[in-house]
Amino acid sequence: MSPAFLVGLILLLPLVGAAFSGLGGLFFPGLRRYKVLLGTLATLAVAVPFGLTLQLFATYSGEPLVTRFFTWMAAGSLELAFQYRIDELSLVMTLIVTGVGALIHLYSIGYMYEDRGYWKYFSYLNLFIFMMLNLVLADNLTLLFLGWEGVGLCSYLLIGFWYEDFKNSEAANKAFIVNRVGDAAFLLAMFLLFREAGSLDFGTLLADPSALPTGVVSVAVLLLFIGATGKSAQIPLFVWLPDAMAGPTPVSALIHAATMVTSGLYLFARISPLALATPDVLVVVALVGALTALMAATIALTQYDIKKVLAYSTVSQLGYMFMAAGVGAFFVSIFHVLTHAFFKACLFLGSGSVIHAMHHVEHALHKRGHHGHLDPQDMRTMGGLGRFMPATRTTYLVATLAIAGFPLTAGFFSKDEILFKAFEYGYNGHTYAWIVWGLGVVTALLTAFYMMRSYVLTFEGAPRWPMADQVHPHESPPTMTVPLWVLAALSLVGGFVGLPSVIAHGEWNLIHHYLGASNGGPVAEPALHAHVPLALEWLLIGLGAAIALIGLYWSWSAYRRYGLAYDEMLRARLGAFYRIWAAKYYWDELYDRMVVQPLLRFARYGLAAFDQKVIDGAVNGVARLMTELGQRVRQVQTGVVQAYAVAIVLGVALVLMFMLFG
Amino acid sequence: MEITLNWYLALGVVLFTLGVLGVLFRRNAIVILMSVELMLNAVNLTLVALSQAMGDVSGQVLVFFVIAVAAAEAAVGLAIVIALFRKKVTVDVGAFNLFKY
Amino acid sequence: MIAQLLFFLLAVTAIAAALGMLIARNPVSSALWLVLNLFCIAGLYLTLQATFLGVIQVLIYAGAIMVLFLFVIMLLNLEALPHPRDIDWGKVFAFVVVMLVLAQLVYVVALGLNVLPTFSTTPEQAALTGSAQALGRELLTRYIMPLQVIGILLLAATIGAVMLAKRRFV
């Protein structure tokens, strides 16, 4: 099977799966009952492409492979085609998307089983995989943008999946609209690049960055970054991600943790040759990433909804990835994408397992006559679940250790690499990198703390839900726990592909060798002259490990001892800070005041009035004109024969006139 | 002066115009029919004049047929007027306006 | 000399009769004026040497058709219709249009003023053309089909008129 054929198959299988579930379920309602069949087929539609990608990965020759299917549009000097590129970067991303995607599909079979919209769910999910693959495999910016928008659409569909509750629809709208702002910037960047470079193919754009004027490249990269802040939830366009937790939890795991939100990072890795030509923009990227990471970590500290904690954690970790990109270490950001996909998906799926169990507790309570409202996502009514859900508890703990950076876990290697690269860049004379490094260290401490907090409040201590002695949750079925185990295992060993340069002078940093331009890969790297001395490197590693251990231990002991009361102690100790963090820095209120309300007012009093008075007036006016005209004209029909005779004579006169003088 | 063909044609034109005026301005249905006969006569005059001027008898054959058709038309027209009179007891054409808007 | 005099006399009388027909209030008067007009036209046919048609005109047109008109007028026992009160602008418009047509037709005739200055035939030839013989010959040879059709037409008209005017429509 030729690689081109494999690429086509990888792209088409999820699309076929989406069409089958979606159109089949739509036109043949009887099909909707066969839930296991639908779920299995949908999972296979992603798992088989994973296998095919593995084959491509194994047989990859080192030369980028470009496959062109057909022309999308050709107008003037613009020629866009459905053209896909297989190289190291796209292979890594495809493996992540299809691999983690397949696991989450498997998980969803059990999680969504009782839902009426089961068939729709898998259709949307498969469609998402198709769009995401378009994004990561595209060989030109426009096709990438197609995938970019497509995943935005699927995100909208899936966030608002339970649309009967209007709040979910509002969250979906928010996600889509905020993303749209970023997409506008992306479009402007495309226009600019096309005008200057004459083509949007990556082959042409990235071949020689110095061919384009630096001003243009700076503006274009900045615009692309703004687009990335939308899709990858950074300041100022991150506000949609916490609200997106309204969707089903596997969706949160796949889209808002592992894949879609990492699109911005992939974009930057892809355009890394261009990005490296604009050091000023990179400063912005790094600082925005660092600030976002810190801000989100402080907010996560105050949240009680377990999914919100994970959402802000995702924002924070994405900030880390942008920190890496901002210091030129693009392959490290991809490394963190990889490890983050493992542990964050594990965390989300674990939380989904917990929520699933708490739903059953809620049902059981209702049956026993207890009719109070129980929020299955609120950690304040959890506690002690580890006893009842051992698999979930263990995998969640492993993932928590990974995200905190416990030594030798996946997160340890990737996060430390990011911090090291920031330090090294500062060592090479770029002062802003020191600030980035400092913020990163503080955020790492906070990360360890709030993640362990979420673990302890959920799984340790005494149960805090009503009638806890009689009503117990139980562990989730294997379709849900198997993916958890797989992801937890990957969170443990996944980091070993990127061993830091202290080990054998970076010879065993496999991911660097694979992706980095210095070894022939597609991801560009800056030229660094000053090397951090070996002792300092070991010191930094030790510092990273220490921070993780301190944060974890502090949180563990505090919350094991005091439980929820420790939050009260924090609130008392931190006062105004805690209040600002708990209020999420008032971002939503600010946007509402400054953007949403003025826009609504303009629409209601400006545009609506214009539409009603002018446009409707014109249309109705035409109708009225016709009616009036008709009223006048019909009066010709007097019914009296002589009037018609006059008309005939008039006609004769006109014809004679024409014959004589015409 | 010589009576040329044009005199006859001019006379035909005048009579025709008077017939048209009668059709358009008289309100009595029977008088309208009579005006139509006047118009037909004017046409006949023109045809005969031309026929005799050119020496072709076909013009007069046509006049023969026109007279026959005029007779038929007058008969049927008057029958219709009688039928209408039965309904409305008037021959004023202004009264027959069922096709009015 | 006589020819001109005759023509003018007949022409003026014909026009006067036509005007009389238009203006007369009483429908019977209108009919009688029309009869005068038809006689004048018959006279004009004779001046053109179309003898056959001149006689036919008197016999059929004045003698049969107008009689029919008079029958119907008297049958219906009509009275004169009243004058309209105010100026009807529609009528003014109609008058203007008709005058326009008249002007155009006069123009056409005037155009041909020098085309056929004289009759291309002599009166003797015209008399031959207008004779019953010539007409009869044409009718029964070249125009035999239209002749038969006219016969059927008259039959149809007769039946139609009878049926329309009956008291109860059969």
Query: Per residue in A544-561, pLDDT tens?
Result: 999 999 999 999 999 888
CB contact under 8 A, B94 and A640: yes
A660 touches chain C (CB under 8 A): yes
Task: List Cα–Cα distances, A322 to A234, A331, A464, in angstroms.
Answer: 9, 11, 39
The predicted pLDDT at position C84 comes to: 61
Contact by Cβ (8 Å): A123, A21: yes
CA distance C44 to chain A (A): 27
Confidence of residue A511 (pLDDT cuts 50, 70, 90): confident
Three-class DSSP category at A25: helix
| A304-326 per-position pLDDT tens digit | 999 999 999 999 999 999 999 99
Query: What per-residue confidence (pLDDT) applies to A250?
Result: 93
CB A384 within 8 A of CB A461: yes
The burial of C155, by beta-carbon neighbours within 10 Å (0-12 exposed, 13-18 middle, 19 or more buried), is given as: exposed
User: Looking at the predicted structure, is the pLDDT value of residue B74 above 90?
Assistant: yes
Residue length of chain C: 170
Which among A427, A430, A439 is positioned nearest to A280, based on CA atoms? A430
Cβ contact C113–B22 (<8 Å)? no
pLDDT digit string (tens) for A520-546?
677 878 877 778 888 888 888 899 999
**Phi and psi for A640 in degrees, rounded to 5?**
-90, 130
Confidence (pTM): 0.74
- Which chain B residues are Cβ-neighbours of C112 within 8 angstroms? 6, 9
Chain C CB contacts of A649 under 8 Å are: 94, 97-98, 101
**A:C CB pairs within 8 Å:** 23
Task: State whether the Cα torsion A209-A210-A212-A217 is positive or negative.
Answer: positive
Residues of A in contact with C100 (CB under 8 A): 653
DSSP assignment of A308-326 equals HHHHHHHHHHHHHHHHHHH
For the question of an ipTM over 0.95, the answer is no
Q: Does C19 touch chain B (CB under 8 A)?
A: yes
B96/A642 touch (CB, cutoff 8 Å), yes or no: no
Does A660 sit within 8 Å of C101, measured CB to CB?
Answer: no
pLDDT > 90? residue A567: no
- The alpha carbon of residue B66 is apart from the nearest alpha carbon of chain A, in Å, by 21
Residue A517, pLDDT above cutoff 80:
no
Across the interface, whether the CB atoms of C150 and B65 are under 8 A apart is answered: yes
pLDDT at A562 over 90: no
Interface test with A, best of C88, C96, C99, C104 (most A CBs within 10 A): C104
CA distance C66 to chain B (A): 9
CB atoms < 10 A from the CB of A144, how many?
A: 24
pLDDT in tens, A454-477: 999 999 888 888 887 888 888 888
The label of the residue with tokens 């890496």 reads A324
Q: Is the pLDDT of residue A59 over 80?
A: yes
Chain A neighbors (3+ CB pairs < 8 Å) = B, C
Q: Does C114 score more than 80 pLDDT?
A: no
Dist CA A507 CA A500 (whole Å): 9
